């Protein structure tokens, strides 16, 4: 990395300058100070390993203080881009916290200058109340609302049948989360699933989802067996959506096994649906995948064809099902290129002993084309929308 040598007593930058980079002290000590009537007011002495000059980069204002070398120093340079890249991808609440803390520090420095009466303070435009702050605060509010709703038992699982295209028989179901708000009615997961998945609530809520889906699977199996449909019961698969954070959490596999044993279910009737994004977690995810597979759970890759579908991952992941995303299914009739993509995905999957589920089938024509292309299973409004559990039971 880039570094610079500065001699004792040399000024590194002055208060009020525009900030272009920040520094890591590799050797020596510096003094951070502000001036009032040409008099230095010391704020801090920083030594090896310390970091300074970051504030003006983050809040895009001028240098909040001057910095001078107290002895010969060596400084590592951190570019504005390096910092901003990270900040821009940080959680919006973390961004908010940073703005609030910077504002406080700048105000504190003002106080150090001897401003002690309100009349001497200038109104700062720090952006509290702007759109960004508002959406960060909204995010926190939504998070709280969601967890409260969960605790108030306003969450419910709906089920959408998965069909064998040739026979049009139900061979399984996908559990889909719904929020039944007493004030707003039925709320789709698109509105809140990201908030859950990006916070630690994903662990208790994810646990509840698995427990509920397995409980319902038990009811389905008992019902089928009582009606002498043992073969259907034997093959019926319950698909449960699992997010990356949930899957790579320690104890995921143990907790899953505990719940499965509690409901007295075979692993082969349980399918874990996740996107390729979980592979971003590398070895941890791959290890959990292999553990699940070894126990006999089925693994299904969701939304295949969107995002960064990598053939490399297909060879690494021990999967048994692949869901062709609705964005392809939609275009399979009208767009020959999409049809070609779907056709290759299906061939590729079959060569790897992976079964295909086509998602979001809305018309009979789509269903027929997909079946012709070699898709064995399908799911979509043509067969049924996701419905509440009692309605799903009636469809069996």
Q: Which residues bind Ca ion (CB under 5 A)?
A: 241, 273, 302-303, 359
Backbone angles phi, psi at 38, to 5 degrees: 65, 5
Report, in Å, the least distance between residue 159 CB and ligand C2E.
10
Report, in Å, the least distance between residue 131 CB and ligand C2E.
26
Q: How far apart are CA 213 and CA 271, in angstroms?
A: 11
Q: How far apart are CA 130 and CA 139, in angstroms?
A: 14
Per-residue x/- marks for ligand C2E, 195-234, CB under 6 A?
A: --------------x-------------------------
Report, in Å, the least distance between residue 19 CB and ligand CMP.
4
DSSP annotation of 269 reads: G
- Mapping DSSP to helix (H, G, I), strand (E, B) and coil, where does residue 233 land? helix
65 binds, among ligand CMP, ligand C2E, Ca ion, none (CB under 5 to 8 A by kind): ligand CMP
Q: How far apart, in Å, are the Cα atoms of 110 and each of 115, 214, 343?
A: 6, 60, 67
Q: How far apart are CA 20 and CA 11, in angstroms?
A: 15
| Contacts by residues 104-110 (CB-CB < 8 Å, ≥ 24 positions apart) | 105/55, 105/64, 106/55, 106/59, 106/61, 106/64, 109/34, 109/43, 109/64, 109/65
Q: Identify which of residues 13 and 304 has a Cβ nearer to ligand C2E in the complex.
A: 304
Q: How far apart are CA 22 and CA 40, in angstroms?
A: 22
Q: Residue 214: how many CB atoms within 10 A of its CB?
A: 23
- Mapping DSSP to helix (H, G, I), strand (E, B) and coil, where does residue 60 land? coil
Q: Which residues bind ligand CMP (CB under 6 A)?
A: 19, 32, 43-44, 52-56, 63-65, 67, 105, 109
Report, in Å, the least distance between residue 135 CB and ligand C2E.
21
Report, in Å, the least distance between residue 302 CB and Ca ion.
4
Report, in Å, the least distance between residue 347 CB and ligand C2E.
23
Using CB under 6 A, which of 159, 319, 380, 392 touches ligand C2E? 380
Structure tokens that stand for 102 in this block: 């910077």
360 touches ligand C2E by CB under 6 A: yes
Q: Identify which of residues 109 and 246 has a Cβ nearer to ligand C2E in the complex.
A: 246
- Asked if 20 and 80 count as a contact pair (C-beta separation under 8 A), the reply is yes
Report, in Å, the least distance between residue 199 CB and ligand C2E.
13
Strands 321-324 and 355-358: parallel
Q: How far apart are CA 30 and CA 69, in angstroms?
A: 4
Structure tokens that stand for 119 in this block: 């009349």
Per-residue x/- marks for ligand C2E, 30-69, CB under 6 A?
A: ----------------------------------------
Structure tokens that stand for 363 in this block: 């018309």
Residue found by looking up tokens 């500065």 in the block: 6
Q: Identify which of residues 31 and 349 has a Cβ nearer to ligand C2E in the complex.
A: 349
Report, in Å, the least distance between residue 215 CB and ligand C2E.
14
Q: Identify which of residues 80 and 331 has a Cβ nearer to Ca ion in the complex.
A: 331
Q: Identify which of residues 109 and 269 has a Cβ nearer to ligand CMP in the complex.
A: 109
Q: Identify which of residues 96 and 238 has a Cβ nearer to Ca ion in the complex.
A: 238
- Mapping DSSP to helix (H, G, I), strand (E, B) and coil, where does residue 110 land? helix
Q: Identify which of residues 62 and 211 has a Cβ nearer to ligand CMP in the complex.
A: 62
Q: Identify which of residues 106 and 218 has a Cβ nearer to ligand CMP in the complex.
A: 106
Using CB under 6 A, which of 147, 189, 291, 313 touches ligand C2E? 189
Report, in Å, the least distance between residue 359 CB and ligand C2E.
6
190 binds, among ligand C2E, Ca ion, ligand CMP, none (CB under 5 to 8 A by kind): ligand C2E
Backbone angles phi, psi at 45, to 5 degrees: -110, 125
Structure tokens that stand for 235 in this block: 């093959």
Given the rule CB under 6 A, which residues bind ligand C2E? Answer: 160, 175-177, 188-190, 193, 209, 241, 243, 302-303, 360-362, 379-381, 386
């Amino acid at each position: 990395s880039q570094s610079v040598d500065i001699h004792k007593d040399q000024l590194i930058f002055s208060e009020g300058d525009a900030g272009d980079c920040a520094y890591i002290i590799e050797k020596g000590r510096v003094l951070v100070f502000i001036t009032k009537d040409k008099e230095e007011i010391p704020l801090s002495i920083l030594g090896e390993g310390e970091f300074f000059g970051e504030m003006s980069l983050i809040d895009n204002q001028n240098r909040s203080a001057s910095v001078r070398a107290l002895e010969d120093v060596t400084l590592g340079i951190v570019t504005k881009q390096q910092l901003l890249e990270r900040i821009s991808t940080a959680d919006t609440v973390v961004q908010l916290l940073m703005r609030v803390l910077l504002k406080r520090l700048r105000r504190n420095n003002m106080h150090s200058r001897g401003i002690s009466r309100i009349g001497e303070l200038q109104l700062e435009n720090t952006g509290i109340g702007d759109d960004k702050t508002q959406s960060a605060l909204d995010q926190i509010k939504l998070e709280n609302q969601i967890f409260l709703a969960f605790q108030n038992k306003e969450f419910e699982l709906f089920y959408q049948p998965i069909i064998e295209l040739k026979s049009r028989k139900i061979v399984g179901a996908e559990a889909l989360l719904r929020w039944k708000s007493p004030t707003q009615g039925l709320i789709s997961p698109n509105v809140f699933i990201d908030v859950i998945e990006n916070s630690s609530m994903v662990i208790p809520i994810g646990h509840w989802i698995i427990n509920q889906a397995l409980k319902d699977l038990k009811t389905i199996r008992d019902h089928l067996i009582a009606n002498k449909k043992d073969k259907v019961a034997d093959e019926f698969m319950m698909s449960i959506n699992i997010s990356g954070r949930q899957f790579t959490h320690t104890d995921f596999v143990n907790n899953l096994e505990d719940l499965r044993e509690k409901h007295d279910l075979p692993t082969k009737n349980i399918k874990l649906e996740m996107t390729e994004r979980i592979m971003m977690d590398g070895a941890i995810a791959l290890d959990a995948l292999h553990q699940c597979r070894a126990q006999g759970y089925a693994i299904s890759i969701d939304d295949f064809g969107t995002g960064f579908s990598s053939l490399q991952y297909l060879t690494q992941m021990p999967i048994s099902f692949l869901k062709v995303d609705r964005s392809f299914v939609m275009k399979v009739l009208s767009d020959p290129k999409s049809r070609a993509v779907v056709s290759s995905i299906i061939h590729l999957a079959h060569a790897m002993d992976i079964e295909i589920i086509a998602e979001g089938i809305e018309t009979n024509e789509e269903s027929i084309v997909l079946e012709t292309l070699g898709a064995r299973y399908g799911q979509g409004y043509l067969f049924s929308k996701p419905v509440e559990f009692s309605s799903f039971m009636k469809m069996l």
